[in-house]
Amino acid sequence: MTDHLRYQLRVNGKERDVSAPAHKTLLDVLRDELHLTGTKECCAEGECGACTVHVQGEAVCACLVLAAEMPGHEITTIEGLAAERGLDPLQSAFVECGAVQCGFCIPGMIMSARALLNGNPRPTRDEVQDALSGNLCRCGGYSRIVDAVLRAGTPS
Amino acid sequence: MRPAALIDLKRVRELSGEIVQHDGLIRIGARVTMTTILGDAQIRRWFPALLEAAAVVGSIQIRNRATLVGNVCNASPAADTVPVLLVHGAVVNVAGRSADRQVPLSEFFVGPGRTVLQDGEFVTSLEVPIPSGSTGAAFGRLIRRRGVDLAIVNLCVLLEAGRPARFAFGAVAPTPIAGVDTTGTLDGTRDWTRAADEALRSILTATRPIDDVRGGRDYRAAMLPVLSKRAWQTARERLATASNGSAHD
């Protein structure tokens, strides 16, 4: 398959071999080649944030970058967030606050919120809303989603 | 799709990812992202309106990848950063096969999505002159929802001691457009008067708003003077309290 590029991606701390056509997005490769289906495809044009992952610690829409741009970068997906002994405190807060309805937007919401909390551990409600403004929830569950991020950002 | 080569511009070493100051201007390399703009002390000091505009481009996820040069080259009539760059007299550095050239940003756009770039040419950086005296600038924008929206109208006003007021507008013509107050009425030294309404009206005659999914022609035309006046007032307050100093202090 001469039209395939071969490269390595560092995803959730592991080097993964990839062979994929040049036009494949990071989202395509995560889901179809590496079978990390926690990252969701929805609009595929950067509007909805369902595919949000971290690249070098920054929130990025996986649908808007080519996977072939990513060698040498540290990629973290929703699957890489939970430590071996349990959920990320942010994930627990989503469960405790009942912030998950259909659930489709939640991996993206959590990755955006995690990037916020990493840089700003005690955000205000306004800051949370701004940080999540690139993530759409079509169930309309924003209120509890914001509550959950605020809970995770509150000392227990 | 079988590309003969795939070039990742973000890895081209000759394209700068830095914002540097030299000879009285700020040079912003092609790989500088909106997020970098937002965190840069030089931009904050001399071009605070550029921060205001960069902060509303797309979402955080987009701003982490999108570049200022990319926003310019995309040539959207509604590009948020362009009115700010226009009032500040930005220049586009273009590299070509046989020669490099500089194009004033005011001559860079040809129409929606179209620029003066020819086959084989690409933009390496933008240069923005550092104001020589105190300035007050303000970015204004009309949108339907907070966050991740394209402007119905956007604009920037720049007041600079001893110079005529400069305006630039987006989403109200096939390209972003700039205007100067030649009457001196709007230079910020006196309050808003009926003469100021006239001066603004004269500047706005260059706009050509159309109906589209985001707003109607009449609505845009009605909002232009409202937003312009608001931004002018903010710019004037900022000029009065300006401590951004000159390029040569």
Residue corresponding to tokens 């109200």: B172
The ipTM assigned to this model is 0.94
**Length of chain A, please?**
156
Q: Are residues B41 and B109 in the same domain?
A: yes
Domain membership of residue B191 as a residue range: 135-240
Residue of A nearest to B3 (CA): A22
Q: Are residues A65 and A105 in the same domain?
A: no
Q: Are residues A76 and A95 in the same domain?
A: no
Total domains, chain B? 2
* Number of Cα atoms under 13 Å in the Cβ half of residue B110: 7
A36 within 8 A of A77, measured Cβ to Cβ: yes
Tokens for B1?
């799709």
Provide, as residue numbers in chain A, all residues whose Cβ is less than 8 Å from the Cβ of B5.
none
A30 within 8 A of A11, measured Cβ to Cβ: yes
B15 within 8 A of B31, measured Cβ to Cβ: yes
**Local confidence band at A61 (pLDDT 50, 70, 90 cut-offs):** very high
Rg (CA), chain A: 16
| Contact check, Cβ <8 Å, B65/A134 | no
Q: Give the CATH number of the domain where residue A118 resides.
A: 1.10.150.120
Alpha carbon A92 to its chain centroid, in Å, reads 16
| Contact check, Cβ <8 Å, B61/A46 | yes
Q: Give the CATH number of the domain where residue A16 resides.
A: 3.10.20.30
Provide, as residue numbers in chain A, all residues whose Cβ is less than 8 Å from the Cβ of B58.
46, 134
pLDDT digits (tens, 9 = 90+) for B230-243: 999 999 999 999 86
Residues sharing a CB contact under 8 Å with residue B217, sequence separation 6 or more, in sequence order: B209, B210, B211
Cβ–Cβ pairs < 8 A, chains A and B: 62
Nearest chain B CA: its distance from A59 CA (Å) = 5
Total domains, chain A? 2
Q: Are residues B36 and B111 in the same domain?
A: yes
Q: Residue B168's closest CA among B184, B179, B160, B159?
A: B179
Q: Give the CATH number of the domain where residue B116 resides.
A: 3.30.465.10
**Tens digits of pLDDT across chain B (249 residues):** 677 888 889 889 889 999 999 999 999 999 999 999 999 999 999 999 999 999 999 999 999 999 999 999 999 999 999 999 999 999 999 999 999 999 999 999 999 999 999 999 999 999 999 999 999 999 999 988 877 888 999 999 999 999 999 999 999 999 999 999 999 999 999 999 999 999 999 999 999 999 898 899 999 999 999 999 999 999 999 999 986 554 444
Nearest chain A CA: its distance from B127 CA (Å) = 27
pLDDT digits (tens, 9 = 90+) for B128-181: 999 999 999 999 999 888 778 889 999 999 999 999 999 999 999 999 999 999
| Contact check, Cβ <8 Å, A134/B148 | yes
Residue of A nearest to B149 (CA): A47
Q: Does B9 map to a domain?
A: no
The pTM of this model reads: 0.94
| Contact check, Cβ <8 Å, B61/A5 | no
Q: Are residues A71 and A95 in the same domain?
A: no
Nearest chain B CA: its distance from A153 CA (Å) = 19
- Percent of chain A residues past pLDDT 70, beyond the cut: 97
Task: Please count the other Cβ atoms lying within 10 Å of the Cβ belonging to residue B232.
Answer: 25
Q: Residue A31's closest CA among A72, A79, A68?
A: A79
| Contact check, Cβ <8 Å, B64/A59 | yes
Interface test with B, best of A27, A74, A133 (most B CBs within 10 A): A133
**Local confidence band at A2 (pLDDT 50, 70, 90 cut-offs):** low
Nearest-10 Cα torsion for B59, B60, B65, B68:
70
- Percent of chain B residues past pLDDT 90, beyond the cut: 84
| Contact check, Cβ <8 Å, A112/B146 | no
| Contact check, Cβ <8 Å, A115/B10 | no
B159 within 8 A of B188, measured Cβ to Cβ: yes
Domain ends where: A80, A112, A132? Answer: A80
Q: Does B51 map to a domain?
A: yes
Domain membership of residue A48 as a residue range: 4-80
